[in-house]
Amino acid sequence: MVTIDKDRIKQAIQKAERRTSGEIRVSVSPPFWGNVRTAAEKAFERLGMAATKDRNAVLFFVVPARRKFVVLGDSGIHEKVGQEFWHHIVRTVAERLKEGDFTSALVAGIEAVGEDLAKHFPYHGASDTNELPDDVDYGPGD
């Protein structure tokens, strides 16, 4: 059974979001047999990821039982970063997943997103509002 350290993930999100005005969420799905990308898109909507002011939210959607994940970003990010940004994030997570450690893989991905988004969406200090919860979501599957 795969375990995910939700406190370590939350701390990584909070640390990353102190560098960027971007918003990061992690959603962990129970096992299901449908399309993982479709389920990730549903989670993106369910979690209100497109409701951020700058449309700069990123979702890490993981299905540990299937050892699969999807990284989705909102339109504001797509306007600023190229496809290589997403390839870099996916590679970062996938490399760590080979070791079987979902928590470390997600932390590495969150750190990479925070670092890269800081270039395009810098943190605005005390005026920066945390628009989405930092807690790990344990939502429905497909």
Pick from 108, 36, 45, 95: which is nearest to 65 by CA?
36
Pick from 31, 99, 112, 104: which is nearest to 71 by CA?
112
Q: Would you call 56 exposed, middle or buried from its count of C-beta atoms within 10 A (0-12, 13-18, 19+)?
A: buried
Which structure tokens are listed for 127?
Answer: 């005026």
Work out the widest C-alpha separation in the chain, in whole angstroms: 43
For 85-127, where are the E strands, in sequence order?
A: none
pLDDT digits (tens, 9 = 90+) for 19-54: 999 999 999 999 888 999 999 999 999 999 999 989
| Residue 126 to residue 142: CA distance in whole angstroms | 38
pLDDT digits (tens, 9 = 90+) for 27-36: 999 988 899 9
| pTM exceeding 0.85 | yes
pLDDT at position 1: 57
Pick from 5, 57, 81, 67: which is nearest to 31 by CA?
67
- What domains can you pick out in the chain, each with its CATH number? 6-127 (3.10.310.50)
pLDDT < 50 positions in the chain: 142
